[in-house]
Amino acid sequence: MERSKEHRLIARMSAVAVFGALSFVLTAFCQIPYASGAGYFNFGDVIDLVGAILFGPVEGALIGIIGGTFSDLFLGYMIFAPWSILAKGLMGLISGLLYIVLKKHKLLRFISLFVGATFEILVYMLCYYLNFGMAGLLSSAFDCVQAYASALIASFLYFALEKAKINEIFAHKEKS
């Protein structure tokens, strides 16, 4: 049974909303504070990255933007909200696009997650520098742990979804 274009669009929009909400919950409520009090580790980026390679680059960007920006607003970090839009959007977009390019390579394709995570780190580095000067760049060390650990976890999670063939349900291929 062929699903209509409208049905596929609604399913994709719903998936973005659900994954965006999951990203928000894992960012806002499932945190591990850094010892210095300079932020926290969270698992929201894992969902953002899995969404980018599961659904596609635009959807991955939207998932990251929804989860990250709403978390910033909810937690009172308004100064970071515009930066999260850029950082999370680029992370999802770049990870999703590069994954499509490298999709046929069994292990190499997961580099896309680390490249996307690197762009997230770079955007936040610029944010810290512009808002807090050179001293603010120290927070980038924590961002490296956050982003690269999330990319690693997302790789393993997607690999498990793939082994269970769950990814085929959500594959971002359009049928003509």
CA distances 123 to 143, 148, 160, Å, are 10, 15, 30
Q: Is residue 35 part of a domain?
A: no
Tens of pLDDT, residue by residue, the chain (176 residues): 466 888 888 988 999 999 999 999 999 999 888 766 667 789 999 999 999 999 999 999 999 999 999 999 999 999 999 999 999 999 999 999 999 999 999 889 999 999 999 999 999 999 999 998 888 787 788 889 999 999 999 999 999 998 988 877 776 554 43
User: Is residue 173 in a domain?
Assistant: no
| Global confidence as pTM | 0.90
Number of domains in the chain: 1
Quote the domain boundaries for residue 111: 5-29+43-165
Q: What H or E segment, with its residue span, contains residue 40?
A: strand 40-42
Question: Could you tell me the CA-to-CA distances from 167 to 26, 98, 126, 151, 157 in Å, in that order?
Answer: 21, 17, 35, 17, 11
CATH number of the domain to which 65 belongs: 1.10.1760.20
> Is 146 contained in some domain?
yes
Region of residue 175 (left: phi > 0; alpha: psi -120 to 50; beta: else): beta
CB count in 10 Å sphere of residue 54: 26
Do the domain assignments include residue 114? yes
